Structure 1
Amino acid sequence: MDDPIHTRRIALPCLGLRVAAAALLLLSPAAVTPAASHNDHGEHKNFLVIVRTPYEYDKNLYKNVSSWHASLLSSVCDSAKETLAADPSAITRLIYSYRNVVNGFAARMTPEEVDKMSKMDWFDRALPEQTYHLLTTRTPQMLGLMGGRRPGDGLWNTSNMGEGVIIGILDDGIYAGHPSFDGAGMKPPPPKWKGRCDFNKTVCNNKLIGARSYFESAKWKWKGLRDPVLPISEGQHGTHTSSTAAGAFVPNASVFGNGLGTASGMAPRAHIAFYQVCYQEKGCDRDDILAAVDDAIEDGVDILSLSLGHEDAIDFSDDPVALGGYTAILNGVFICAAAGNTGPSPSTLVNEAPWLLTVGASTTDRRFLATVKLGSEDELDGESLNDPNTTMGEPCPLVRDLADGTCANENVLKAQNITGKIIVCEAGSAVSTAKAKMVKGIGAAGMILVTPEVFGPVLLPRPHALPTVQVSYAAGQKIKAYIQTTKGAAKATFVFKGTTLNTPQSPMVAPFSSRGPNRRSRGILKPDLLGPGVNIIAGVPSIEDVELAPKAEVPRFDIKSGTSMAAPHLTGIAALIKHAHPTWSPAAIKSALMTTAEPTDNQRKPISDVDGRPASFLATGAGHVNPQKAMDPGLVYNMTATGYVPYLCGLNYTDQKVNTIIYPEAPVSCANLSRLEQDDLNYPSITAILDQPPFTATANRSVTNVGAASSTYTVEVDVPASVKVEVNPTKLTFKELDEVLNYSVTIKSANDQAPTGPVEGQLKWVSGRYVVRSPILVTTGAGKDAPATRQP
């Protein structure tokens, strides 16, 4: 049964003397602690209040945890007459009472009330409100899920497409009527499912089994935000991520004829439980995120997917993704999170906790080719989502925006008279689809969009209101030089060539994908691995900023890019593994994905960055996901949730912060535990920080046999000559399944000095067809990392 505070429509007041009588209708008499009356003229803000771990509520005194939290809140705050007269809604002060993810509650308080609360013996800390942000037809085939020509071949056959697995997705809304969420042929969810659907009963089905929204905290910050429960908003982002993870088969899906094929998610028979925590142009409130994870765990989800994060490196004990993620794995729930979209700068990662699978973004091997044919007869390739049947005809005059080049000033463009011309625009900060609508309205015949230099060869085409070709920065410079030299006589036309597959040098690291090192735990390599995140076709309510012909069918698929698109790919693949191996822990699934990831592209060369050089481990993690190999990894690095506790102590977290993270586990004292250094965490990757003489580090690992019962694995190590690596023992002989064996890796500087920069190598345990690979990253642990030295 839902806790009355956590059911959003029932909210308890902060009990002052004037409102105590009304509160008695909701609380047992013992829950009411009278507050000293005062005038709370201060500004009310949302706070997450953490209660000190030793304090727990007396079940004989309080009927539930909400009653107890309400009594704690009412003991320090009051709603004065003046405040209530000005804003009657101010009576509602307790927002959420958390049951699983944290020992505490969310409430609206004044600074004066927070100060008074800080003097209570049960109080640990109050965290001010914080906003987080939201960070296909080809990828199932590219990743080897389909096998042959018929759906159901390949890995989908092995995993039965994730049947019976429940995926919980936290995002900005979902278009429930989308064909990707058709429940035809789906079995009912398993009996453990306890969630609910806030859409009407005709919308939810055996595919979309749950839909709930959370806005109790967000509504106080964003005036005008109404209760979105009925209906939950039809989010572009949430529909796209949900259909990527577990969308049903939809034939003849495309974006205006591009990428035509049968669309599906990674786990087409998995169930979707949707939790709306984000709102368009407003973001995602921390306290709402915590409330959604709290409910999702009790609802019975198997996997959680979060394509959201905060750009700052937030303490694990304050971060809702880290807090909720720990409680999730404590309950056997696998959690997948996006790495962030602020690359290629270093130290830009989000969602860094080691119990999360942190996913960076890569390109796919599909392009939507289009050519800019200049009057000089030069042809420059780019990409476009215009219908491949579109023709431009005779060349048109070619011009540039003579202001700042970004085509952002409508008045300047009108003065230039761009009617009937193709205009060249720098990408700039404005949304390209909005630019296209504007230049079309002025009369332009077409647009060339020049990508920023940092993107290299990676192009992110969008559907536009007029014929548009996106070109690389290098191609853009050639076009602009041609305009300059022809002195007003430049002309161009477009040739739309449609979809091409098997592009060389794929995958490549997406330029926007956030990079390590891990700011909160430098001894843990992040991101963990890469998944497809560039130009992903998946479901949407409709395509934005594109004008359709009268009575034209509304397009239900669109192309989007970001680590937000990469994370649900791994979410769905994890669901396939969960179905095939239902007893595997979240750590075992994570290990299987990482140790089988590919470090090379489709030309068997190291995965490259957009500058053409091999990408560093701080961009790729363990490599690019290989679902087929992950299903049968041979060995796994297994862990329970409690295995992270000594690691947290080793990070020098206070006991209270450790206990905040591991709640509702019993409190611990780090003084009574053996602290675990970061390199000793049983992680599938290995990071050695050599910052102190004698510049030596030893990492200890345990591997569990999930491959052949009787097998022997031999170690292979590839590292540059600047470091030496010793593994003990060099062979692991298993006699049965689930047997656990240990080994140690000693990494030392070859010249007894600190490395001058990151050093990259790899350790592999090899037995017949099994290759269990761990990247090795050696760093000094200080400052920003220079380009890495790697083993060829």
Structure 2
Amino acid sequence: MRLEPDRLRTQQMPFPQCKAQSNGVYIVYMGAAATSKNNHNLLLTSLLERKRNPVLHNYQNSFLGFAAHLTEEEANDIARRPGVVSVFRDPLLKLHTTRSWDFLQYQTGLETNFRSSAKYNISSSNAASDIIIGVMDTGIWPESKSFSDEGFGPIPSKWKGTCMQTKDFTTANCNRKLIGARYYKARGAFHSPRDHHGHGTHVASTAAGNIIHKASYYGLAMGSARGGFPGSRIASYRICGVTGCWGSNILAAFDDAIEDGVDVLSLSLGASAGHKPDFQKDPIAIGAFHATEKGIIVVCSGGNDGPSTGSVVNIAPWILTVAASSIDRHFQADIILGDKTVIRGGGINFGELQRSPVYPLLYGNSAKSNSRDYDETDARKCKPDSLDKDKVKGSIVLCEDEEGVYSAKKKLEGAKKLGAIGMVFVSDDASATASSYQLFPMATVNWNEGKKIISYAKNERNIPTATILPTVSVIQYKPAPVVPHFSARGPSYATKDILKATFHNGLTLQPDVAAPGVAILASWPDNDSIVKLAGKNSPLFYILSGTSMACPHVSGLAAMIKSQNPNWSPSAIKSAIMTTASQTNNMKKPTTTDLGSIATPYDFGSGEISISISSNDSNLLQPGLIYETKTIDHLQFLCNLGYNVATIKQISSIVPPTFTCHATHASDANVPNDDSISNMNYPSIAVSKFDGSERRVTRTVTNVEDGDTSYTVDIEAPSGLMVKVVPNRLNFSGRRKEMSYEVIFTSDGELSDDNFGAITWCNGKNRVRSPFVVSSK
């Protein structure tokens, strides 16, 4: 609903008399330009004069705008007012829901061949710092030991935030570790910063929780739980409830957090797959843009709607987007068949069936109800009401998955009501998540293993039988990492729509990186009654999977880097994380997906995050070279979205006076140039619509090490694609800290749709790797 500034009305108009319509909530976004302040005030005054309590949020600290109850006609009228960038309905977004850090340290040892002599211990990063991680989620459980302030000094002087007080949350619940807590009740049934959901507490402790020894979920995953950077402070922003996260609350939290003084923002939430990336209507992209301009790195989960291509969300170039990967711990629930075959299943159950396979195993027609409304296919998939109670009672039910209809837990509930004593669930997706089924004996298997069980159930001459053993933790599991089924994938394919074309032309390598997101143990509210076992106390820790869990791993790593390099920009930190990522597993082979295919940048971006260890220092991560994506790059990106210069000057607070949009034709300064997006100084490279003729892409790197050094290039290229780098050596000496190079792509033959490779700069100590994709689409 954005109109170009030259078409906007130049005077304030009264609100039209509206027909009887139900009021929805709309977000009015007005950018960050100081010149819009008067327009912002005029709009609010006019609205308040006409309507009673229409405004839910007023954004005025870090950018301008508001959320209000409006009719569609009022929203359309406001969209035409001076200073308004866009008006859109308030969207409802969703959550993307210990050993992980040990595994990353081990993996880094393998990657750098320093494992036997590495001096670095991740606990050395635990010293209290002034770095503040802002977590936007379901709130926080302050009593968790993960948020104790023992050993922390005074609250950083830069902190301008607050600890909001309610009936169940007092200022005493904040401390020198948990320095701030806010909540946003305008949309949502919550009235406190306190987390009654668990998700926010889980992700906050993953990013920054203290070291807690002997942590486990009722004995599973026993070990020391810790966050990525225990020395950082935490500011919690409760924006989500049971139904999800309203965009108006998200923008309010961004507006506050930027002003409060956070260094890192962590958001384990976003839109669903298929949501068209649209900067002007995406509250996360809008908020993250302004945070990044103020020097705050924003880390977001990429979503759980994989493995379909184009399912990744939160893909604006100023966001660090995170996919999920597994670690070398597996929760194994074995299924023993009547013929003594042992099938390795997954999932978490504390069942108490006999170890001998004496229980009837029901599958397909043998479990079907007599109703004519259902057939054997329905029974195989355990659709509600398709199973016969008399047959199911006392049996283990074998169920197939059916995407998009009924979850494993829904089918479990239905089988339990019919008297089933166990369930085997065949699903690639469910087998990757290690969900908890508590006391009910349930195991998940992928389709490869499931076919073995199905074959036994169908071909056994006697009554097929089985049993399900309780879950055990298996460590040093191989291969790891793998990219799980659920983790959302890139790219955003080019279409006739310029917005999607823009994302594809410049930034197909989404997500940016992967991090542990499968079966992660972290802190949990100690009054929970949902995940606790009958007859037991509520657990202090719980196990969850999702890109929600991967995101705070990267947030913690970003905070560590920021603590060591306080003057680094968000793009410098992002570059350091991306260019040092790993593409190999604990078998020293290429990382794969959970189905066995080699993972591509569409699956996990630059790779899984790593902790770079050098033989002569104790620094966490030394990238050697960084790619600095500057404000001008983001502004040119906005040009490619279709914004003109006047609108960009309204959105951004730091537009250079001489700024112009790169043009395809010199005569038209407002026509975006696709190649300018490929030339964004990003740590990865993407070229689309490649027809084999020469394409050139430029990058600039900055040397962040002391002293002179020289880097040589190594090129990984697929067959049929010629890649040349000029120059092939970068010599940094004296004050020369920045150097540029050009990558030239050509082909004399037919190429596949997507062609993956990498450009790596090496100086004998550091490897700075940038993946690329060259696509014919």
TM-score band w.r.t. shorter chain: 0.7 to 0.9
Alignment of 1:494 onto 2:468: yes
> Secondary structure at the residue paired with 1:398?
strand
| Cα-to-partner distance string for 1:604-630 (whole Å, 9 max, x where unaligned) | 221112331212221121111112357
Residues 433 and 465, structure 1, Cα contact 8 Å, conserved in 2: no
Q: Secondary structure at the match of 2:210?
A: coil
What is the alpha-carbon distance in structure 1 between the residues aligned to residue 458 and residue 267 of structure 2? 47
CA shift in 2, pair 1:389/1:67, >3 Å: same
Is it true that 1:600 corresponds to 2:584 in the alignment? yes
Q: In structure 2, what is the Cα distance between the partners aligned to 1:670 and 1:684?
A: 24
The counterpart of 2:773, out of the listed 764, 777, 781, is 777
How many Å apart are 1:48 and its aligned residue? Answer: 1.6
1:760 aligns with 2:756: yes
Asked whether 1:175 is paired with 2:141, we answer yes
Taking the aligned partners of 2:290 and 2:196, their CA distance within structure 1 comes to 29
The SS at the match of 1:449 is strand
Partner residue of 2:425? 449
Structure 1 residues 410, 324: closer, same or farther in 2, change over 3 A? closer
Contact 1:101 1:323 in 2 (8 A): no
- Does structure 1 retain, via aligned residues, the 8 Å contact 2:85–2:280? no
Give CA-to-partner distance per residue, 1:526-554, whole Å, 9 cap, x none.
1111111111111222666456343x221
State the 1:736 CA deviation: 4.4
**Which whole-Å CA distance do the structure 1 matches of 2:71 and 2:300 have between them?**
33
Shift of 1:655: 3.2
Identify if the C-alpha distance between structure 1 residues 53 and 254 changes in structure 2 by more than 3 Å, giving closer, same or farther: closer
Deviations, residues 161-191 of structure 1 (Å, cap 9, x unaligned): 5732110011123222222222222333311
More deviation, 656-665/294-303: 656-665
1:263 match: 225
- Partner in structure 2 of residue 285 of structure 1: 246
Which of 31, 44, 55 pairs up with 1:70? 44
1:735 match: 733
Supply the AA of the counterpart residue of 1:142. F
The alignment of Structure 1 onto Structure 2 pairs a total of residues equal to: 714
Do the aligned residues in 1 keep the contact of 2:24 with 2:89 (CA within 8 Å)? Answer: yes
Q: How far did residue 128 of structure 1 move?
A: 1.8
Distance in 1 of aligned mates of 2:227 and 2:479: 24
Residue deviations 1:30-81 (CA, integer Å, cap 9, x gap): xxx99579566321111122348878367xxx7xx97444224347xx34xx
Task: Using structure 1 for the length normalisation, give the TM-score.
Answer: 0.83
Q: Is the contact between residue 579 and residue 606 of structure 2 (CA under 8 Å) also seen in structure 1? A: yes
Aligned to 1:297: 258
**Equivalent residue runs for 1:610-689 within 5 Å:** 610-628=594-612, 631-655=621-645, 657-659=647-649, 661-663=651-653, 670=660, 677-689=676-688
Consecutive unaligned residues in structure 2, runs of 5 or more: 1-11, 369-373, 494-499, 614-619, 664-668
Residue 493 of structure 1 deviates from its aligned partner by 2.0
1:421 Cα deviation from its structure 2 partner: 2.4
Mapped contact 1:716–1:766 kept (Cα < 8 A): yes
What secondary structure is seen at the aligned counterpart in 2 of 1:173? coil
**Are residues 205 and 392 of structure 1, via their aligned partners in 2, closer, same or farther at CA, if it must alter by over 3 Å?**
farther
What is the aligned partner in structure 1 of residue 395 from structure 2? 421
Partners of 1:119 and 1:690 in 2: CA distance? 36
Query: How far 1:689 moved relative to its partner?
Result: 2.3
Query: Is contact 2:181–2:193 with CA below 8 Å preserved after alignment?
Result: no
Q: Say if 2:321 is the partner of 1:358.
A: yes
The corresponding residue for 2:6 is: none
CA contact (8 A) 2:16 2:74 kept: no
Residue 207 of structure 2 aligns to which amino acid in structure 1? A
Residue of structure 1 in register with 2:666 after alignment: none
CA–CA distance in structure 1, aligned partners of residues 18 and 317 of structure 2: 46
Task: Report the AA paired with residue 204 of structure 1.
Answer: C
Q: How does 1:99-110 map to 2 (within 5 A)?
A: 99-100=60-61, 102-110=63-71
Aligned residue runs from structure 1 range 525-540, under 5 A: 525-540=509-524
Seen in structure 2, the aligned counterparts of structure 1 residues 291 and 459 have a Cα distance that, compared at 3 Å, is: closer
* Corresponding position of 1:234: 196
1:254 to 1:433, Cα distance in 2 relative to 1, 3 A: farther
Match of 1:347 in 2: 310
2:20 aligned to 9, 16, 41, which one? 41
For 1:515, the equivalent position in structure 2 comes to 489
Q: Tell me if structure 2 keeps the 8 A contact 1:55–1:122.
A: no
Quick one: structure 1 residues 487 and 238, their matched pair in 2 at CA, closer, same or farther if it must change by over 3 Å? farther
Alignment deviations for residues 241-297 of structure 1 (CA, whole Å, 9 cap, x no partner) = 1111111122221122211111111111211111111111x2111111111011001
Counterpart AA for 2:582:
E
Is the Cα–Cα contact under 8 Å of residues 326 and 517 in structure 2 kept in the other structure? yes
Q: Which whole-Å deviations, capped at 9, do the CAs of 1:312-358 have from their partners, x for residues lacking one?
A: 12222321111111111111111101111111111111111111111
Separation in 2 of the partners of 1:315 and 1:390? 52
Q: Deviations over 1:82-138 (max 9, x none)?
A: xxxxxxxxx211222222554322221112323443454444432122111112921
- The 1:186–1:310 alpha-carbon spacing in structure 2 relative to 1, beyond 3 Å, is same
CA 1:515–1:330: 2 relative to 1, 3 Å:
same
User: Structure 1 counterpart of 2:288, which letter?
Assistant: G
Q: 1:257 to 1:376 in 2, by over 3 A?
A: same
Instruction: Give the 3-state SS of the residue equivalent to 1:56 in structure 2.
Output: helix
CA distance in 2: counterparts of 1:649 and 1:412, whole angstroms:
55
Residue 504 of structure 1 corresponds to which residue in structure 2?
A: 478
Give the Cα–Cα distance (whole angstroms) in 2 for the partners of residues 210 and 190 of structure 1: 12
Matched, 1:464 2:438: yes
Any idea what the Cα deviations from partners look like across 1:660-713, whole Å, max 9, x if unmatched? Answer: 542475788635898671111111111122435x62221111111112411110
- In structure 2, the partner of 1:184 is 150
> What letter corresponds to residue 775 of structure 1 in structure 2?
P
Q: Distance in 2 between matches of 1:647 and 1:162?
A: 38
1:135 aligns with 2:96: yes
Q: Classify the secondary structure of the residue corresponding to 1:670.
A: coil
Match in the other structure for 1:113: 74
| Percent identity of paired positions between Structure 1 and Structure 2 | 33
Contact 2:324 2:518 survives alignment (8 Å): yes
Change (3 A) 1:202 1:102: closer
- For 1:574, the equivalent position in structure 2 comes to 558
What is the letter of the counterpart of residue 179 of structure 1?
Answer: K
Q: Which amino acid aligns with 1:507?
A: P
Counterpart-to-counterpart distance in 2, 1:155 and 1:460: 29
Q: RMSD value over aligned CA atoms?
A: 3.1
Identify which of structures 1 and 2 has the higher relative contact order when contacts are C-alpha pairs closer than 8 Å and 6+ apart.
2
Amino acid paired to 2:389: A
Which one-letter code corresponds to 2:215 in the other structure? A
Mapped to 2, the partners of 1:516 and 1:632 lie a distance apart of 28
* Residues in 2 aligned to 1:475 and 1:208: alpha-carbon distance in whole angstroms: 45
Which sections of structure 1, spanning at least 5 residues, go unmatched?
1-32, 80-90, 220-224, 783-792
Instruction: Name the structure 1 match of 2:159.
Output: 193
Summarize the Cα distance change of 1:407–1:462 in structure 2 as closer, same or farther, 3 Å threshold: farther
Mapped to 2, the partners of 1:411 and 1:392 lie a distance apart of: 30
- Contact 2:133-2:266 at 8 Å conserved across structures: yes
Instruction: Please say if residues 515 and 551 of structure 2, whose CA atoms lie closer than 8 Å, have aligned partners that are also in contact.
Output: yes
Give the equivalent residue in structure 1 for 2:451.
477
Letter in 1 for 2:722: K
The question of whether the paired residues in 2 share the 8 Å contact of 1:437 and 1:545 is answered with no
The residue type paired with residue 695 of structure 2 is A
Matched, 1:369 2:368: no
- 1:398 touches 1:492 (CA, 8 Å); kept in 2? yes
Go from structure 1 to structure 2 and tell me whether the alpha carbon gap of 1:202 and 1:539 turns closer, same or farther (over 3 Å shift): same
Match of 2:533 in 1: 548
Q: Distance between the aligned counterparts of 2:227 and 2:772, measured in 1?
A: 33
Instruction: Give, in whole Å, the separation in 2 of the partners of 1:161 and 1:441.
Output: 52
Shift in CA distance, 746/394, structure 1 to aligned 2, threshold 3 Å? closer
